């Protein structure tokens, strides 16, 4: 069984230490031998971008011995060595624009010295151009340019519009050197979190081959189901020998383990209709952290800025789940727009897609080409919901609540279920609650999702829209919420809109009890909670 690491991003070190490496070199071979030699690919953080760049560097440095047993190692590739300029902006110091320029200049000079090249210039763009010129002249062959995390400096200053714009302008001027030096380049690969915008940073570098949503490269990063099962076979065997349980302590067989892994960590789709992939860091950490189903990828960076944007726009999870994005909007996405005082909901959804909190579900072709969004998996949905909820509550819900509220619903103990919801709302300061029904609906939805419960919101029927459907074992709850009205009015709506009708026969076949549940909230300062609820059972 090979070693496993989630902290090594250097291909050479990964191979030397006999670590699991999921072979993606078929994609890289196709790229470097193809017609397009200036390539761009965006992926969420911790998705293998840096390892991909490092693997390309090893290929272009001619280190064939590292690729024994891998796809490219078996191909008729010449393994010629090329001079490589590898810039990783994640490792740059970027407190302000001057510090970034100084840091970048030092890095370029260090690369030059490693090849025996000296400079007179000290401005980054001029140094960059001079470095490419001198390396080409010295070695008589094209220069390989690899740029990782191209958008990191902007993201570091996204909350200040002036700073973000200053970094954008600098990077735009810096990256245009790549286009001017095309004749002296062997291969260019740029990667980052956000897809390039034709009218923004790369407006002067308009000849990049963008594979971000190209179906031929949709699984170039991340693990397919087959890759996960074959490359981690030994670790799966080890997990089974150690007896794996789900989040509620239920013992899993091998099929159950694979099912839970898929539910928690799979689901990222990077091109319409293409196979989904697992998040690499989540899979690795699952096996390294004693086979515990927890949030690993999400915990590497809390989306505070995203949560603040959603709060400012009074957005809820229902606004992003199933959201639709015109295909054309991604071509004009400019991350600096998010630093403004007014940000459209559509832009927030776009950012969530590009940063991995949402993924593609399916494509609509009418009335215009559009992408429909969904959360990739349980890890992302639960974790993002928890972060959004924690923006309102004083403290995290005790872990025991997850099991207690779940068990109450499964027993059909509606009174206890409501009491626990009331306890949760009591922890939300009145100053942070919002005076609209959708806020309370969202909180209930998030709580249930956090607890691993099967809940759907805004379920459309032929004559209305059900606020929430909760499935809990032998109990099915049809819930309608009201704000500063009555629970009775909620039940009347359930009956008038005939919400129960479509569920009666399926519920009887399963032996389920249907709970018509009306819940009223009050925004009055002395309440700010569930003030009344009524229930009718349908057997």
Least confident among 99-103, 329-333, 520-524: 329-333
Overall average pLDDT of the 407-419 stretch: 94
Overall average pLDDT of the 121-131 stretch: 94
Considering the domain boundaries, does residue 75 fall inside one?
yes
Q: Mean pLDDT score of the chain, rounded to an integer?
A: 88
Instruction: Judge if 461 and 519 occupy the same domain.
Output: yes
Length of the chain: 539
Q: How far apart are CA 187 and CA 40, in angstroms?
A: 11
Task: Could you list the beta-strand ranges (E) of 3-107.
Answer: 38-42, 84-88
Q: Write down the pLDDT at residue 409.
A: 94
Distances (CA, A) of 127 to 11, 98, 109, 182, 188: 28, 15, 8, 16, 17
Instruction: Judge if 478 and 431 occupy the same domain.
Output: yes
Question: Closest Cα to residue 307, out of 360, 384, 396, 395?
Answer: 384
Considering the domain boundaries, does residue 115 fall inside one?
yes
> Three-state DSSP class for 508?
helix
Q: Write down the pLDDT at residue 264.
A: 94
Which 3-state string (H, E, C) describes 306-369? HHHHHHHCCCCHHHHCCCEEEHHHHHCCCHHHHHCCCCCHHHHHHHHHHCCCCEEEEEECCCCC
Q: Is 246 left (phi over 0), alpha (psi -120 to 50) or beta?
A: beta
The answer to whether residue 400 scores a pLDDT higher than 60 is no
Structure tokens at 389: 């909820």
Instruction: Judge if 140 and 286 occupy the same domain.
Output: no
The answer to whether residue 345 scores a pLDDT higher than 50 is yes
Q: Write down the pLDDT at residue 121.
A: 85
More confident residue, 355 or 337: 355
The residue whose two tokens read 């390039």 is: 196
Sign of CA dihedral 32, 33, 35, 41: negative
Strands 359-364 and 209-210: unpaired
Q: Determine the structural domain holding residue 454 and report its residue range.
A: 397-539
* Residue 431: band (very low, low, confident or very high) from pLDDT cuts 50, 70, 90: low
CB crowding 190-200: b at 16 or more within 10 Å, else e: bbbbbbbbeeb
Structure tokens at 50: 């840096």
Q: Which residues contact 465 (CB under 8 A, 6 or more apart)?
A: 458, 459
The answer to whether residue 247 scores a pLDDT higher than 90 is no
Decide which of 264, 296, 328 is a domain's last residue. Answer: 296
Q: Write down the pLDDT at residue 307.
A: 78
Instruction: Judge if 425 and 519 occupy the same domain.
Output: yes
Q: How far apart are CA 426 and CA 399, in angstroms?
A: 17
Q: What is the CA radius of gyration of the chain?
A: 26
Residue 240 burial (C-beta neighbours within 10 Å; 0-12, 13-18, 19+): middle
The answer to whether residue 412 scores a pLDDT higher than 60 is yes
Q: How far apart are CA 22 and CA 287, in angstroms?
A: 15
Sign of CA dihedral 377, 378, 384, 388: positive
The residue whose two tokens read 């370029």 is: 108
The DSSP H or E segment spanning 477 is strand 475-483
Q: How far apart are CA 90 and CA 197, in angstroms?
A: 20
Considering the domain boundaries, does residue 5 fall inside one?
no
Decide which of 361, 391, 421 is a domain's last residue. Answer: 391
Least confident among 270-279, 474-483, 524-533: 524-533
Q: Write down the pLDDT at residue 340.
A: 66
Q: How far apart are CA 53 and CA 58, in angstroms?
A: 9
Using an 8 Å Cβ cutoff, are 467 and 457 in contact? yes
Q: Write down the pLDDT at residue 478.
A: 96
Instruction: Judge if 89 and 176 occupy the same domain.
Output: yes
Q: Write down the pLDDT at residue 346.
A: 87
Instruction: Judge if 69 and 101 occupy the same domain.
Output: yes
Q: Write down the pLDDT at residue 396.
A: 47
Considering the domain boundaries, does residue 2 fall inside one?
no
**CB half-sphere exposure, 319, CA atoms < 13 A:** 19
Q: How far apart are CA 186 and CA 322, in angstroms?
A: 42
pLDDT digits (tens, 9 = 90+) for 297-314: 866 554 677 877 887 777
Instruction: Judge if 525 and 401 occupy the same domain.
Output: yes
The answer to whether residue 391 scores a pLDDT higher than 70 is no
Q: Write down the pLDDT at residue 366.
A: 79
Structure tokens at 215: 């179906």
* Residue 246: band (very low, low, confident or very high) from pLDDT cuts 50, 70, 90: confident
Bridge partners of 145, per DSSP, are: 85, 188
Instruction: Judge if 59 and 120 occupy the same domain.
Output: yes
Considering the domain boundaries, does residue 6 fall inside one?
no
Decide which of 296, 323, 356 is a domain's last residue. Answer: 296
Considering the domain boundaries, does residue 4 fall inside one?
no
Q: Is 495 left (phi over 0), alpha (psi -120 to 50) or beta?
A: alpha
Overall average pLDDT of the 109-128 stretch: 93
Q: How far apart are CA 408 and CA 417, in angstroms?
A: 5
Instruction: Judge if 353 and 283 occupy the same domain.
Output: no
Q: Write down the pLDDT at residue 184.
A: 96
Sign of CA dihedral 309, 314, 320, 323: negative
Q: Write down the pLDDT at residue 36.
A: 84
Structure tokens at 513: 């009890």
Considering the domain boundaries, does residue 1 fall inside one?
no
Overall average pLDDT of the 74-79 stretch: 95
* Residue 536: band (very low, low, confident or very high) from pLDDT cuts 50, 70, 90: very high
What total of structural domains would you count in the chain?
4
Instruction: Judge if 387 and 402 occupy the same domain.
Output: no
Instruction: Judge if 449 and 531 occupy the same domain.
Output: yes
CATH of the domain at 128: 3.40.50
CATH of the domain at 518: 3.40.1350
pLDDT digits (tens, 9 = 90+) for 211-228: 999 999 999 999 999 999
Q: Which residues contact 48 (CB under 8 A, 6 or more apart)?
A: 24, 221, 222, 280
Bridge partners of 475, per DSSP, are: 472, 513
> Three-state DSSP class for 252?
coil
Distances (CA, A) of 112 to 212, 228, 320: 31, 40, 47
Considering the domain boundaries, does residue 508 fall inside one?
yes
Q: Write down the pLDDT at residue 50.
A: 95
Q: How far apart are CA 488 and CA 43, in angstroms?
A: 49
Percent of the chain with pLDDT over 90: 58
Q: Write down the pLDDT at residue 203.
A: 62
Query: What percent of the chain is helix, strand and coil (3-state, nearest 5)?
Result: 45, 15, 35
Instruction: Judge if 352 and 428 occupy the same domain.
Output: no
* Residue 398: band (very low, low, confident or very high) from pLDDT cuts 50, 70, 90: very low
**Whole-model pTM?**
0.83
The answer to whether residue 432 scores a pLDDT higher than 70 is no
Task: Could you list the beta-strand ranges (E) of 164-284.
Answer: 185-192, 209-210
């Amino acid at each position: 069984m090979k070693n496993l690491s989630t902290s090594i991003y250097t291909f050479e070190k990964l191979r030397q230490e006999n670590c699991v490496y999921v072979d993606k070199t078929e994609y890289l071979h196709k790229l470097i031998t193809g017609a397009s030699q200036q390539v761009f690919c965006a992926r969420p953080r911790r998705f293998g971008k840096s390892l991909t760049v490092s693997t390309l560097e090893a290929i272009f440095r001619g280190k064939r011995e590292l690729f024994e047993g891998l796809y490219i190692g078996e191909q008729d590739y010449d393994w010629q060595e090329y001079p490589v300029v590898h810039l990783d902006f994640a490792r740059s110091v970027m407190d302000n624009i001057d510090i970034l320029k100084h840091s970048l200049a030092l890095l370029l000079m260090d690369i030059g010295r490693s090849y025996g090249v000296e400079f007179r210039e000290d401005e980054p763009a001029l140094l960059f151009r001079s470095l490419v010129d001198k390396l080409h002249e010295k070695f008589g062959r094209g220069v390989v340019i690899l740029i990782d995390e191209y958008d990191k400096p902007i993201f570091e200053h996204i909350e200040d519009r002036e700073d973000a714009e200053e970094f954008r302008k600098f990077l735009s001027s810096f990256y245009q050197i790549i286009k001017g030096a095309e004749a002296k380049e062997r291969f260019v690969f740029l990667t980052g979190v956000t897809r390039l915008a034709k009218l923004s940073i790369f407006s002067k570098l308009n000849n990049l081959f963008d594979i971000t949503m190209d179906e031929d490269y949709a699984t170039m990063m991340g693990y397919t189901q087959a890759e996960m099962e074959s490359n981690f076979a030994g670790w799966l065997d080890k997990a089974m020998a150690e007896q794996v349980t789900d989040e509620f302590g239920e013992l899993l067989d091998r099929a159950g383990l694979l099912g839970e892994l898929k539910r928690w960590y799979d689901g990222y789709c990077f091109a319409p209709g293409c196979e989904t992939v697992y998040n690499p860091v989540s899979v690795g950490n699952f096996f390294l952290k004693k086979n515990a189903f927890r949030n690993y990828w999400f915990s590497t960076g809390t989306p505070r800025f995203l949560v603040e944007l959603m709060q400012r726009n009074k957005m809820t999870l229902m606004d992003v789940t199933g959201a639709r994005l015109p295909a054309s909007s991604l071509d004009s996405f400019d991350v600096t727009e998010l630093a403004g005082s007014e940000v459209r909901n559509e832009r927030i959804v776009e950012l969530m897609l590009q940063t991995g909190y949402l993924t593609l579900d399916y494509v609509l072709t009418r009335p215009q080409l559009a992408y429909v969004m969904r959360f990739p998996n349980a890890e992302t949905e639960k974790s993002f919901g928890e972060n959004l909820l924690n923006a309102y509550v004083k403290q995290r819900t005790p872990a025991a609540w997850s099991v207690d509220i779940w068990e109450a619903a499964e027993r059909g103990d509606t009174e206890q279920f409501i009491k626990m919801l009331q306890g949760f709302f009591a922890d939300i300061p009145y100053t942070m609650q919002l005076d609209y029904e959708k806020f309370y609906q969202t909180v209930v939805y998030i709580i249930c999702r956090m607890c691993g419960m099967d809940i759907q919101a805004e379920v459309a029927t032929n004559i209305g829209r059900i606020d929430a459907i909760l499935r809990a074992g032998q109990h099915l709850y049809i819930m309608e919420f009201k704000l500063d009205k009555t629970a009775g009015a909620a039940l009347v709506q359930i009956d008038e809109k005939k919400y129960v009708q479509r569920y009666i026969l399926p519920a009887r076949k399963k032996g389920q009890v249907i709970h018509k549940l009306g819940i009223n909230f009050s925004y009055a300062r002395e309440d700010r909670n569930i003030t009344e609820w009524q229930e009718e059972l349908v057997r």
